[in-house]
Amino acid sequence: MSVAVPQILNKALEPFLIIVGSLTVSMVLFGIFVASAGADPFEVYQTMYRAAFGTSFSWQNTLVRAAPLMLTALCTALPGYLGLIIIGGEGAVVMGGLFAAIVALTMPTAPPIVVLTTMALAGMVAGGVWLMIGGALRHYRAVNETISSLLLNYIAIALLNHLVTSTFRDPESLNHPSTHHIGEANMIGVIPGTDLHWGLVFGIVACVIAWFLMHHTVFGFASRIAGGNVRAAQVAGLPVGRLILTICCVAGAAGGLAGMLEVAAIHGRANDTLNANYGYAGILVAFVARNNPLAIIPVAVLLGGIRASSGLLQRAHELPDATVLVMQGIIFLVILFSETLYGRFAKLQKQGAS
């Protein structure tokens, strides 16, 4: 049968089957866990399905949670092409949201479209510069990029808390220090006919662009070479340093855009709620999607669905919120273990083909 399958399909089939298989195994393991916690696993899955995908409200609930994850997943996925493990998405979100709000406040009379465009640019620049710091430390000072990007998260949160309690504080935000409101006119609306804000569209478009960038341009090709073997890339004359900085900047820009959307679509101001752990959830998404920007979209929807189902699980089955974290953890580990299956499967297929 595999003789008839074209090479390219075979290539796509392998990760697909392994990921679907891993998810199935995860569901069985989680079912056992739920059963040991005293709930009926079939009822739990039924509830989760209902809460995440069962009604149009559930779908919107899922998608609204998935939208920021698509963007923050890119923070980890793109540097992954270069072999870098960046976990600074949270910092990029916070910086993006903070600076988007600040620039919006400097232009009170501009028309909304100008304000929003400037906000998006400011958010992307802020997030981009933030992750670029991690990339620069890696390239110029050989500082481990995982550690530095993680620590940059804390610095970003501290900076946010400092600025919203001092220079940019709305004096009326007594017990919840925040910046001034950017103005109702400047808020991003919802996609017509739904209750979803435009963040979802931004997320999907960003993932598609990122995929095109990494798989269909010279830049993406060069990055993948450098990710495969830095020495070989240097010998071939590729500007590895510039690639690292650019990729980190693009990745950070995606996170910054997520932060800008939090401000422009939900809060209207920057405050400590920007730090809602989307950056960390994005790491999981990128990981499960194996850094492929196109795969990020369905994985983010899946994770959004799991998060969305937490509420009903708590209310209908009186399970703690940690239940869905256990599920996420199981999925994460099983996917990690399933990495060892790659190649073996392909070898089997090649034998079949010959």
Partner 1 sequence: MSESRKLTRRQVLQGTAAAGALGMLGNLEWIGQAWGAADKVKMGFIFVGPRDDYGYNQAHFEGKAAVAKLDWVKAFDEEKVPETIEVQKTMESMVKLDGAQVLFPTSFGYFDPHIIKVAPQFPNIQFLHCGGLYQEGKHPKNVGSYFGFIDESQYIAGIVAGGMSKSGKLGFVAAKPIPQVLRNINNYTLGARSIRPNCTTNVIFTGDWSLPVREAEATNSLVDQGIDVITCHVDSPKVVITTAEKRGIYCTGYHCNQSKLAPKGYLTGAEWNWAKVYMDYAEMIRKGQTAPHLVRGGLKEGIVKVSDYNQVVTDAVRKQADAAKDKFMGGGMVVYKGPIKDNTGRVVIAAGKEHVQTDIWLESMDWLVEGVIGSTKS
Site for partner 1 in 211-270 (CB under 8 A): 262, 265-268
Of the pair 58, 291, the CB lying nearest partner 1 is at 58
β-partners of residue 271 are: 178
Shortest Å distance, C-beta 89 to partner 1 = 15
Candidate list 5, 29, 41, 45; residue touching partner 1; CB under 8 A:
45
Q: CB count, 10 Å around CB of 349?
A: 18
Does residue 41 touch partner 1 according to CB under 8 A?
no
Question: Considering only residues 8, 174, 185, 218, which one is a binding residue for partner 1 as defined by CB under 8 A?
Answer: 174
CB of 59 to partner 1, least distance (A): 10
Give the shortest CB-183-to-partner 1 separation in angstroms.
Answer: 13
Per DSSP, the three-state class of 213 is helix
Nearer to partner 1, 238 or 341 (CB): 341
- What is the CA angle 272-274-280, rounded to 5? 115
> Which range touches partner 1 (CB under 8 A), out of 13-21, 132-140, 144-152, 217-225?
13-21
Residues 196-215, interacting with partner 1 (CB under 8 A) = 197
CA torsion 282-287-293-298 (nearest 10°) is: -80
Angle in degrees, 0-180, between the axes of helices 278-288 and 89-106, rounded to the nearest 10: 130
Q: Which is nearer to partner 1, 21 or 329 (CB)?
A: 21
Ranges of beta strands (E only) in 133-213 are: none
Contact (CB, 8 A) for 97 and 260: yes
- CB of 77 within 8 A of CB of 252? no
Question: E strands of 226-350, at which residues?
Answer: none
SS3 178: strand
Q: Which residues bind partner 1 (CB under 8 A)?
A: 17, 20-21, 24, 45-46, 49-51, 53-55, 57, 60-61, 64-65, 158, 161, 165, 174-177, 197, 262, 265-268, 271-273, 276-277, 307-308, 310-312, 314-316, 320-321, 345, 348-349, 351-352
